[in-house]
Amino acid sequence: MYFKLNKSVFLLMLVFSLNTFVKAQDKDDKQQIESIIKTIAEGWKEKDVEKTTIHYDDNIDWTNAFGDRMQSKVELKALLTEIYSLNFVMKGKSENQYKDINFLTSEIAIVRSKTVVKGQEWGDGSKMKDRHNNHLMVFQKKYGQWKVISHLISQAWTKK
């Protein structure tokens, strides 16, 4: 009886300790992921391809709201270089409305977020309605660093 009681207490202490460790790890990891998202957004705002892609994995699977799919960082950099050179695309102001970070494991996180772009123009100079871009990002912790391994952007126009 004495052994079982101590064993149970030990197991409870172990579970509590592991739970505390995981929560502490999640908090630190969450801050790292939030920082990465901020860096990517700053890269877009500054039209800086290197800053935008620094936290993407070399084998990123990235799809924008128009269905353009890139399957490497090299391809993504080429596309962003083209996008950033188009003045009408880069007009407007982006407002991040939320980001939800969920850890599936200690090495995999899913991030859902929404950005509203106001004041963007079409190629002919006419104004676009506000764009509501939803992002689904998958992060993987590799060698102690979080990397974006997949990023899907979808767009929902304002409903009447």
Domain containing 137 equals 2-157
Q: What is the pTM of this model?
A: 0.77
Please name the residue ranges forming H helices in 47-158.
49-53, 73-85, 87-90
pLDDT score of 140 more than 90? yes
Give the CATH number, domain containing residue 55: 3.10.450.50
pLDDT tens readout for residues 88-121: 766 777 777 778 999 999 999 999 988 887 877 7
Instruction: Give the model's pLDDT for residue 155.
Output: 86
Q: Please, which contacts does 61-66 make with residues 24 or more away whose CB atoms are closer than 8 Å?
A: 61/149, 61/150, 61/151, 62/150, 62/151, 62/152, 63/151, 63/152, 63/153, 64/153, 65/131, 65/133, 65/153, 65/154, 65/155
The number of distinct structural domains making up the chain is 1
Instruction: Give the model's pLDDT for residue 94.
Output: 75
pLDDT tens readout for residues 64-82: 988 999 999 999 999 999 9
pLDDT score of 16 more than 60? no
